[in-house]
Every structure is written in C-alpha cells, then in structure tokens.
Amino acid sequence: MEHTKHLVQWLICDLQPFTTVDNPHFRAFVNHFCPRYTIPERHQVKDLIIGAFDSQRIRVANELHKIEGRYSLMADMWTSMNREAFLGITIHYIDSNWNLCNFLLDIIPFTTRHTGENIASEVKRVLDEFNISGKIIALTTDNESAMVVCGRRLAESFDSELSSMTFSHYRCAAHVLNLGVKQGLELIDDSINKVRELMSKIKNSTLLCDQLRDLCNLKRIYVYKPILDVETRWNSTCYMLKRLEQLEPALVLLVADNDNIRSLYPNNNDRVIIKVNIDIGNFFLRKKNSSQI
C-alpha cells in the first residue's frame, strides 16, 4: 500500500497517463528495484486517483469550515490546446494565524454556452458543494461581458440569501491595465506589425534561423531565438521588442543578405517608437515585481 501511494502521487504530480503503469518497460524498471511489489494496472490506478481526489476534496471542505472569516473568489475561463473550455475558480481567505491563503478550488469542464448565467450557475454549484455560499464577499474576474453578467447574477443571488452581507464584483486591475496598453499600441501599430512580421518570417524559416545563429556566433552574442507576441499573454509585445534589441547586431547582417525581410527591419522612426515601448514595458515590469500594481 505504501508503494502504491507513492506511485499514485507521482502519476498525479507528473501528469502521467493511466497507461504508464501498463508499459512493460516501466513495470520491468519498478520490478528490478522491488520484485515483490505488484504494480496495479491502469483501471486500478484510475480508481485510486479518483479516490485520492475525493478524499482531498472532503479534507478541503472540512478545512474551509474551520475558517471563521469570509472568502473571496477569482474566476476565469480558458481554452486548452484541443479547444476544450474550462472554468477555473480560485479561493482566497485569511486563516486563524492571519496568513493570506489561496488555492484552486475547482476546474470545471465547460460544455455549455459561455454566458454569464451559465458561469454564475457553475460557480454557485461549486460553492454549494463546499457549503460556503453564505461566506463569499467578493469575486474578481476579467472584463469579458459574460463575466460582468456572472458577477451581477451572483450578487443578486447572495443578496437575496443573506441581506446583511455586501457582495462585490471586482474587475482585475492587471487586465484593465493590459486593455489600456493594447489601445495605446494601436496608435503605433505599423511599427509593431513590422517587427511582428519580421520575427514570424525568421521563426518559420529554417534557413533564416540557421543564418541568424551563425551571425550571432560571428558577432559573439548569445544565440537568442526570435519571440512572437501573443494577444492573451501580457507583456509579450515588450518581450518581443526587447528580443529585437538583443539580436540587433546579427539582424542587421541578416536583413542585408535577404531581400525578402529587408523592408521589415525597423527604420529610424520605428526605432524611436520601439525604444519608448521597451522603456514603458520595463517600467510596468518593475512595478509589478515590486508589488506596486
């Protein structure tokens, strides 16, 4: 049982598939160190992991009921690489020792429409399952319209259940800041687009990547890989521009030898804009790291 406990813990923490235990090489590896241990097969492992999950969920519920204060929540929708949608709910509270605590309360597969009513219904269901609906005082989400409706529906539900408690819906300050930065970037979109297209062409060309590596070695600079910004990853545009700056000695030579990317290399006006954006990005990164925002 002790061996199986550690096996299950490894499978969970390392995100291993159930079929791992049926792999003959894995079984031979384990049996080499412990010939007397009988390795459970994948169906047994599945039941053990579900059992561990249920036990942990009961323990979490019991621990939450010991907290005399109230809780706040954070909720967010996200989509996996295979296009499956999930709703994540994080809980925040202060324990009896005045420590600020938080952990992931649940991740819910979301197969219905992503409406505010449906999101609020799922959040309420999870809270009822843990029997803590009457102790929620706040919800923080992004500015997506469905989340705004979700906050409104939860406020209506909580106010009707416990009129003495004030429930508040907050919009994530970092997300508000990111929206402002994105609007600002639209004013200089041409310069950013040139850098984005340049990085994309290099990143998607084996020939250009090989040439860039050789030129980095020639200039005795570190061989950095091109970075593309992603709309949903905050600060990624700043990181892309900083990478352009780091690769500049090699990029000058690369674009000189390749007509197809020469027009994408920033001119003097673009450089001024890029420099300002890097300085602004560094400012916000310093503020974020010092917990001032």
The last residue of one of the domains, among 171, 192, 219, is 171
Q: Which amino acid is at 272?
A: V
Q: What confidence score (pLDDT) does residue 292 get?
A: 46
In which domain, by residue range, is 167 found?
Answer: 68-171
Are residues 162 and 263 both part of a single domain? no
Low-confidence ranges of the chain (pLDDT < 50): 164, 291-293
Q: What confidence score (pLDDT) does residue 158 get?
A: 79
- Rounded CA separation 42/59 (Å): 26
Are residues 57 and 83 both part of a single domain? no
The last residue of one of the domains, among 171, 201, 234, is 171
Are residues 35 and 83 both part of a single domain? no
Q: What confidence score (pLDDT) does residue 164 get?
A: 47
What's the start-to-end Cα distance of the chain, in Å? 48
Cβ–Cβ < 8 Å for 211, 253: no
Tokens of 292: 């001032």
Are residues 158 and 211 both part of a single domain? no
Helix/strand/coil for 162: coil
The last residue of one of the domains, among 61, 84, 111, is 61
Strand partners, 88: 76, 107
- Rounded CA separation 92/74 (Å): 8
Are residues 55 and 78 both part of a single domain? no
For residue 75, give the nearest of 91, 63, 60, 58 by alpha carbon. Answer: 91
Q: What confidence score (pLDDT) does residue 184 get?
A: 75
Cα–Cα distances in angstroms (integers) from residue 225 to residues 121, 220, 237, in the given order: 44, 15, 15
pLDDT digits (tens, 9 = 90+) for 81-113: 788 899 999 999 998 889 999 989 999 998 888
Sheet holding 136-141, edge to edge: 100-109, 85-94, 71-79, 136-141, 168-171
- Rounded CA separation 158/154 (Å): 6
How many domains, the chain? Answer: 3
CB atoms within 10 A of CB 267: 10
Alpha carbon dihedral 28, 30, 31, 36, in 10-degree steps, equals: -160
Q: What confidence score (pLDDT) does residue 230 get?
A: 82
The dihedrals phi and psi of 218, each to the nearest 5 degrees, come to -65, -40
